[in-house]
Amino acid sequence: MEIKRRGDGYPSDTICARLDFIITTPGRITDRTFMNTGKQQKPVLTGQRFKTRKRDEKEKFEPTVFRDTIVQGLNEAGGDLDAVAKFLDVNGSRLDYRRYADTLFDILIAGSMLAPGGTRIDDVDKTKVTEHCVFKAEENHTAVRSYAQVFNKLIRRYKYLEKTFEEEIKKLLLFLKAFTESEQTKLAMLTGVLLANGTLPPPILTSLFSDNLVKEGISASFAVKMFKAWIAEKDANAVTSALRKANLDKKLLELFPANKQNVEHFSKYFTDAGLKELSEFLRVQQSLGTRKELQKELQERLSQQCPIREMVVYVKEEMKKNDLQEQAVIGLLWTCLMNDVEWNKKEELVTEQALKHLKHYAPLLAVFSTQGQSELVLLLKIQEYCYDNIHFMKSFSKIVVLFYKADVLSEEAILKWYKDAHAAKGKSIFLEQMKKFVEWLQNAEEESESEGEED
Q: What is the pLDDT of residue 73?
A: 93
pLDDT category at 23 given cuts 50, 70, 90 is: very low
pLDDT band at 37 (very low <50, low <70, confident <90, very high): very low
Rounded Cα–Cα distance for residues 193 and 54 (Å): 39
In a domain, 182, yes or no: yes
Alpha-helical regions (H) of 55-138:
63-77, 81-91, 101-110
Measured between alpha carbons, how far is 220 from 273 in angstroms, rounded to an integer? Answer: 11
Give 50 or 312, the one with higher predicted confidence. Answer: 312
List of long-range contacts for 381-390, beta carbons under 8 Å, 24+ apart: 381/330, 381/331, 381/334, 381/335, 382/334, 383/422, 383/423, 383/425, 383/426, 383/430, 384/423, 384/425, 385/334, 385/338, 386/426, 386/430, 387/425, 387/426, 387/430, 388/425, 389/343
pLDDT value of position 283 = 80
- Domain harbouring 351, CATH code: 1.25.40.180
**Average pLDDT, rounded, for the chain:** 85
Closest CA to 403 of 301, 328, 325, 334: 334
Residue 14 has pLDDT above 80, yes or no: no
What torsion, rounded to 10 degrees, do the Cα atoms 180, 184, 189, 193 define?
Answer: 130
Residue 122 main-chain phi, psi, to 5 deg: -110, 25
Q: Which of 337, 334, 330 is nearest to 367 (CA)?
A: 330
Question: How large is the angle between the packed helices 218-233 and 181-196, nearest 10 degrees?
Answer: 40
Angle (CA) 156-159-164 rounded to 5° is 115
Domain region containing 67: 57-261
User: Tell me: the pLDDT tens digits for 81-110?
Assistant: 999 999 999 988 888 899 999 999 999 999
Residue 54 has pLDDT above 50, yes or no: no
Task: Using DSSP, state whether 120 is helix, strand or coil.
Answer: strand
Q: What is the pLDDT of residue 55?
A: 45
- Compute the CA torsion angle 414, 418, 424, 426 (nearest 10 deg): 80
Q: Is residue 207 included in any domain, yes or no? A: yes
- As a whole number of Å, the end-to-end CA separation of the chain is 149
- Return d(Cα 385, Cα 333) in angstroms, integer: 13
331 shares a domain with 235: no
Instruction: Please tell me whether residues 90 and 222 are part of one structural domain.
Output: yes
Whole-number Cα distances in Å, 74 to 118, 157, 264: 21, 18, 47
Mean pLDDT of 159-168: 95
Q: Is residue 218 part of a domain?
A: yes
- Give one word for 227, left, alpha or beta, with left for phi > 0 and alpha for psi -120 to 50: alpha
- Are residues 253 and 354 part of one domain? no
Q: Which of 261, 286, 303 finishes a domain?
A: 261
pLDDT (tens digit, 9 = 90+) per residue, 399-432?
A: 999 999 999 999 999 999 999 999 999 999 999 9
Give the rounded distance of the alpha carbon of 226 from its chain centre. 15
In a domain, 301, yes or no: no
- Determine the pLDDT at residue 127: 80
Give the mean model confidence (pLDDT) for residues 239-262.
91
29, pLDDT greater than 50 = no
What is the distance, to the nearest Å, from the Cα of residue 378 to the centroid of all Cα atoms in its chain? Answer: 35
> What's residue 40's pLDDT?
54
The Cα 78–Cα 70 span in angstroms is: 12
**Pair (348, 434) in one structural domain:** yes
Report the pLDDT value the prediction gives residue 6, as an integer from 0 to 100.
46
Asked whether the beta carbons of 74 and 107 are under 8 A apart, the reply is yes
> Mean pLDDT throughout 428-448?
86
Query: CA-CA distance, 334 to 345, in Å (whole number)?
Result: 20
Amino acid at residue number 455: D
Task: Give the residue among 384, 326, 382 at the shortest CA–CA distance from 354.
Answer: 382
Rounded to an integer, the average pLDDT of 395-400 is 95
Which of 261, 280, 315 is a domain's end point?
261
Per-residue confidence at 377, pLDDT binned at 50, 70, 90? very high
Q: Can you tell me whether residue 203 is helix, strand or coil? A: helix
Tell me the three state secondary structure of residue 34.
helix
The total of structural domains in the chain comes to 2
Sequence letter at residue 38 = G
Grade residue 322 by pLDDT with cuts at 50, 70 and 90: confident
Torsion of CA 285, 227, 149, 233, to 10 degrees: 70
- In a shared domain, residues 223 and 77: yes
Which of the listed residues 213, 229, 261 is the one where a domain comes to its end?
261
Q: How many CB atoms lie within 10 A of CB 11?
A: 14
Q: Report pLDDT for 120.
A: 87
